[in-house]
């Protein structure tokens, strides 16, 4: 959820960049060589959230199987691209990526 919070908070200080531009800029700074696949991953998660009919709010998450299940293969493909790009990242960038991918792995176990 950090992308949502980051983009929302950054946009409070200025409107010179769109939400996608803010997120892309953050991905470049945080994930180096894996910026593009990370950006695509976050964009897909946002798209899923935006187009979902499942009920969800801050403290009441949606049923993850219903929310993400039909996108499982597409998300797996995106995370594989992240793993490939991760090879060219610095140690700290890899740690950041591994942190984010750990959330995906946990989610994947719930939607199998």
Indicate the domain borders of the chain: 2-111
Q: Tell me which of 98 and 14 has the higher pLDDT.
A: 98
Q: Tell me which of 4 and 37 has the higher pLDDT.
A: 37
**pLDDT the model gives residue 59:** 66
- Give the tens place of pLDDT for each residue, 18-37: 989 999 999 999 999 999 99
**pLDDT the model gives residue 30:** 95
DSSP letters spanning the chain: -HHHHHHHHHHHH--SS-HHHHHHHHHHHHHGGGHHHHHHHHHHHHHHHHH--S--BTTB---HHHHHGGGHHHHHHHHHHHHHHHTTS-HHHHHHHHHHHHHHHHHHHHH-
């Amino acid at each position: 959820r950090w992308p949502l919070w980051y983009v929302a908070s950054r946009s409070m200080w200025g409107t010179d960049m769109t939400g996608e531009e803010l997120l892309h800029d953050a991905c470049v700074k945080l994930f180096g060589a894996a910026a593009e696949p990370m950006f695509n991953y976050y964009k897909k998660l946002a798209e899923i959230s935006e187009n979902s009919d499942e009920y969800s709010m801050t403290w009441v998450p949606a049923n993850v199987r219903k929310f993400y299940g039909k996108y499982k293969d597409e998300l797996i493909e995106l995370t594989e691209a992240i793993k490939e790009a991760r090879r060219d990242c610095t140690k700290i960038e890899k740690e950041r990526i591994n942190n984010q991918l750990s959330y995906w792995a946990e989610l994947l176990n719930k939607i199998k």
